[in-house]
Structure 1
Amino acid sequence: MTERNAPFPRLAVALAYAFSEERHTLNRPAVARAADMRLGEPGPLAGVDGCAEIAQVRQFLERGLEPLHLAVLWARYGQRKVCCKHCQSEGDHPGWVGALQRIAVALGAHLSMRTAHSALLHALVRRYYDRGSVRTLQAIADEYACNVRSVERASAKANEWLRGAREKKGAEPIYGIEQAAHAAAEMLLRGGGFIP
């Protein structure tokens, strides 16, 4: 496919559309979605055709990516909050929370620290992915009755494992899980003609 025929200009746009149900709802006209400042520009995909194209991208990713890579992309680009249809209260999106849990389980296997239990790992992963988080490591340590140094060490190792790290003196660079997930998704979507 040529660049003009690809539905998305770059990988980040394709992933943002694929993992956000809010961007391609059929119950609101495109003009109303465009006026919603939280969503940014609506893009070229709107209506039934847009929903179908976006569903194809998500299905393509779900079939081609490892579950951990899919969870990492969902945690990074997925919709974090959802509004209850009945009471209109806002809560965490179940898909986003599930992705965080899958990452926390994989992180536990990677860290193998006795003091880092599953609830603490989930809190660290949530702190990493939650953009508006104001929770400090001290607050997390207090909540889970852990030593602050242990939480700091676990957080540093988690960030390195997720993000990756540059080459240091005497140490090889670390290829992060996010880097691997983005590379795999880019290869899939480029091969499928979704991005140029």
Structure 2
Amino acid sequence: MADGLRERKKRRTRRALADAALRLFAERGYEQTTVADIAAAAEVSTRTFFAYFPTREDVVFADTDERIAVMRETLTALPGGTPPVRAVHRMVEQVFATDGGMFGPARATRTALVLTRPELRAKALERLLTAQQIFTDWLRTAYPKLDAVAAATVSGALMGGLVGAALASLDRGDPPERIRAELEHAVTLIARGLIAIDE
């Protein structure tokens, strides 16, 4: 019970820091907002901020990191022999069912920051490569006949397709339900390449 309460408190603190950061970035600007400002707005110490996020840049990706964790957990829990297309649909379903992030009210602020700040684009690329590696590893475990290059090719096509669809849908100003529909459509478009794995 204590562990459960502790984890919930940690999640609330992490979310409070991320929400405060994005609010301040929108109000004051990224350069004008310090870690101390974010910590004060979330009613915690600067030391607490750094217990959750290594840098100011990382707080922008709080939801992304949560989604990567969900992605890893979802793939790990899949039964053996799960077809790749089904695995991808399940992964997308679980990852994009989480609160906040690209479906949250701060999605426009987060997207604008990532697209305009070189240091944030670099952090975004780190997360993308991590997600690609997770799916690559799952593919190689689930389908041992795939070599490293083939698995990485499929994973790269999938992650690149999802990111491209999400950014285009966000840029168009789509509401959350439309964004999710576009992501599902992206998986369908990529599915032909995944189906070939079973052949």
TM-score over 0.5 for the alignment? no
Q: TM-score, normalising length from structure 2?
A: 0.36
Relative contact order, higher structure (CA 8 A, sep 6+): 1
Q: TM-score, normalising length from structure 1?
A: 0.36
Higher helix proportion (structure 1 or 2):
2
